[in-house]
Amino acid sequence: MKGSEHRRRVGRFRFGIVVSKFNRSVTGKLLASCLDELAEQGINPADVDVERVPGAFEIPLIARTMAMTGRFDAIICLGAVIRGETPHFDYICAETSRGIGQAALATGVPIIFGVLTTETVAQAMERADPSKFNRGREAAKAAIEMAKVMRRLNAMAPPLGSDATLLPRRAASRPGR
Ligand code: INI
């Protein structure tokens, strides 16, 4: 199906991508594959914004800030944390994954975890290999899938946006109130 035909059928989606520069030889491949997959799924390149951050640790703040603009149907986070010899690895992995999950729940916008966490550079290269269904493509597919689910659910009721607004709305819509 052509891009324009796909857009006509599924609607227009906008995506934000946050990609870290640390381990650029890996994250550059993830980004290229992610963009390829979005384009192949009919997403207009003009509807994709890319922001670059120094390392994986900085991803959650920018993902959350992009989500809060209200401009995007989903945010895709791409990075590569490679253990090497340092215990730094564990702290960065923990904070990055926690921060990404928290940003999604706080904003109500799907935020996709496309961050590789590996023991070695070779393992990271393998999972970023453009000749395979790599983590960048996988993240793009997950983002499209989540954007569609959210659009369908939001069409059933006005978007609530955050946990803070969820409770009063639910309470107000209870029968008999
Ligand atoms: N950032 C990464 O994205 N991957 C790594 O493997 C990594 N290691 O190993 O240190 C890394 N460190 C930088 C970190 O993400 C922050 O940019 C830095 O600590 C500044 O806050």
Is residue 89 within 6 Å of ligand 1 at its C-beta? yes
Residue 165 covered by a domain? no
| Predicted confidence (pLDDT) at residue 166 exceeds the cutoff of 70 | no
Q: Record the pTM.
A: 0.87
Instruction: Kindly report the CATH number assigned to the domain that includes residue 48.
Output: 3.40.50.960
Indicate the SS3 state at residue 169.
helix
Q: Report how far residue 44's alpha carbon sits from residue 6's, in angstroms, rounded to the nearest whole number.
A: 10
Q: Please report where in the chains the tokens 């946050």 appear, as a residue.
A: 18
Is residue 54 within 6 Å of ligand 1 at its C-beta? yes
Residue numbers of the domain that contains 31: 11-156
Atom of ligand 1 nearest to the CA of 92: 15
Residue 6 covered by a domain? no
Residue 161 covered by a domain? no
> Total domain count for the chain?
1
Is residue 62 within 6 Å of ligand 1 at its C-beta? no
Residue 170 covered by a domain? no
pLDDT computed for residue 163 by the predictor: 53
pLDDT computed for residue 159 by the predictor: 58
- State mean pLDDT over 71-99: 93
* Mean pLDDT (the chain, rounded): 88
Residue 45 covered by a domain? yes
Q: Report how far residue 109's alpha carbon sits from residue 113's, in angstroms, rounded to the nearest whole number.
A: 13
Q: Give the residue whose CA is nearest to atom 11 of ligand 1.
A: 55
Closest CA to 25 of 128, 131, 120: 128
pLDDT computed for residue 9 by the predictor: 56
CA of 38: how far to CAs of 60, 83, 118, 121, 166, in Å?
Answer: 21, 30, 25, 26, 31
Q: Give the residue whose CA is nearest to atom 17 of ligand 1.
A: 55
Residue 135 covered by a domain? yes
Residue 78 covered by a domain? yes
Is residue 95 within 6 Å of ligand 1 at its C-beta? no
Binning pLDDT at 50, 70 and 90, where does residue 173 land? very low
